Amino acid sequence: MVSKRLSREAGHRRKFLAIIDETPECERAVAYAARRAQSTGGVLVLLFVIETAEFQQFLGVEQVMREEAHTAASAALDQHAAKVRERVGIEPELQVREGVPVEEIHKLIEEDQDIAILVLAAGNAKEGPGPLVSSVAGKGAAFPIPVTVVPLNLTDEDIESLA
């Protein structure tokens, strides 16, 4: 069970959460979430989750791998944040976490009671909509907040008219 959302109370703003990863659909989710945040007076939160399972296989170089992963995560977040600032004119909140993506998304939602909507984008691969969309959809009714899934084929103009 998720804690009560505070985004509608005085002094709070609704937050839209988008996940940053190496998938091609990530950019569409960020574009939509940024436009929704802008059009509703909300806040955009960008989250990059570093999967720590990779580090456990190489104990001798774990710290170096962790530092490299954090550097790459920060660079990816900065790149997307710069696009959001340029295209939409809002300043996103940036988060880096380590762990299993779905678990870390849940933890962040529980910790930040202003996060009210998770925005993901579906891929167009034969295998399905993508690992994150599949894992969130697999949780079904157990997911704590509404999830918006953006089709990969939406253009910037489509997103502008929908958000």
Residues 6+ positions from 141 with CB-CB distance below 8 Å: none
- DSSP bridge pairs for 121: 150
Q: What is the CA radius of gyration of the chain?
A: 16
Backbone dihedral angles phi then psi of residue 58, each to the nearest 5 degrees: -125, 75
> What is the SS3 assignment for 103?
helix
Indicate the pTM of the whole model: 0.87
Say yes or no to pLDDT of 58 above 70: no
| Structural domains of the chain, with CATH | 15-162 (3.40.50.620)
Nearest to 132, CA basis, from 153, 113, 147, 142: 147
pLDDT grade, residue 67 (50/70/90)? Answer: confident
Backbone dihedral angles phi then psi of residue 122, each to the nearest 5 degrees: -85, 135
What confidence score (pLDDT) does residue 10 get?
75
